[in-house]
Amino acid sequence: MTFSAVADTCRNPYDLSRHAGGSSGGAAAAVAAGMLPFADGSDSGGSLRYPAAFCNVVGLRPSPGRVASGRLDNGWTAHGVLGPMARTSDDVAYALAAMAGPDPMAPLSIAEDPAVFASLTPRHPGSVRIGWSVDAGGVPISAEVAAVHARTRDTLAAAGYDIVDLDLELADAEAAWETVEMYNFFASYRGEAAAHPDLMRPDLLRNVRQGERITATELTDALRTRTEVFRRTERLFADVDVIIAPATPVVAPPAEVEWVERVGDTVYDRYFRWQMLANRFTVTAHPVVVTPAGFHEDLPVGMQVVGRHRGEAELLAITSGIEAVRGLTARSPRD
């Protein structure tokens, strides 16, 4: 957890006046500070990816089923997944080798030997073609993050990566994500909302109530869109090996700012609106590695590297190679 009514906010080890992102902010901060070699968490709206980006570590949102889910309410959902976080892609792969594997109680779990993740061979720049997106198809990005992202592209191109511009069609993923996410909140917390609404956070209760009002037509449309977005994204990999987009729209916010209400001229009315860089890729159901892109005034900036469906081994080999070229994973809060 990053924000708690019981304890203080989890602060960013690179700047204690900033927070570490959420919801797995504690995991990212601990890994970045050297307290843990790796950690794990769940991700439906960027809970592994935003903290990793803010804390200069590596987080993986795997393909659904790569890590078996113990969900009690809906074991068939592809929305929320479990994954690892560590200081490098190599360490993430080691953690994934321990976490992944089939489970007869998890109907989406993938029946493949996870030992392949324990021995990555980094992909060299000349063997990788990158599809480049400046904003994941239209998400507002701050000038600070956009500048770091642009410099990263130049550095990767100079290192020998073949980079092509992509115009991603992901705008329709936002409404689909919201419908599925709110439905899952209702499925998971309807009992608590009925019995003890006064004990729930207002934003959590609001999500449950919104999920309760979703119609069959709305859910059907969201699931259809999710399928279309998956297929649309998978087709892109006929021409590229990975897709790169910014991981967050801003650098780590001040510790007292629980969620960002404005990016540029865009104003947000809900906490999850500023997470759409992550949410759009959640709907694709493709694996995503967040790895360091650079720094803005000593604050980390991350990038999302998206791979083929169930292609975590190839994806992590590529991000391992990128990390070797960039050298950013070696930087710690003490530097």
Q: For 55, what's the count of Cα atoms within 13 Å in the CB-facing half-sphere?
A: 35
Max distance between CA atoms of the chain, in angstroms, equals 59
Domains of the chain listed by start with CATH number: 11-167+243-330 (3.90.1300.10)
Q: What is the pLDDT of residue 99?
A: 97
Q: Where are the alpha helices (DSSP H) in the chain?
A: 25-32, 49-54, 89-99, 143-159, 173-195, 202-212, 216-236, 276-284, 312-326
Q: What is the pLDDT of residue 22?
A: 86
CA distances 11 to 30, 57, 208, Å, are 10, 15, 28
Sheet architecture: strand order including 81-86: 38-43, 81-86, 58-61, 288-296, 299-306, 242-246, 129-132, 162-165
Report, as ranges of residue numbers, the positions in the chain whose pLDDT lies below 70: 1-7, 72
Strand partners for 304: 245, 290
The pTM for the full model equals 0.97
Q: How far apart are CA 170 and CA 7, in angstroms?
A: 37
Nearest residue to 322 (alpha-carbon basis) of 58, 98, 20, 54: 58
Q: What is the pLDDT of residue 145?
A: 98
Nearest residue to 236 (alpha-carbon basis) of 311, 177, 160, 290: 311
Q: What is the pLDDT of residue 3?
A: 63
Q: What is the pLDDT of residue 203?
A: 94
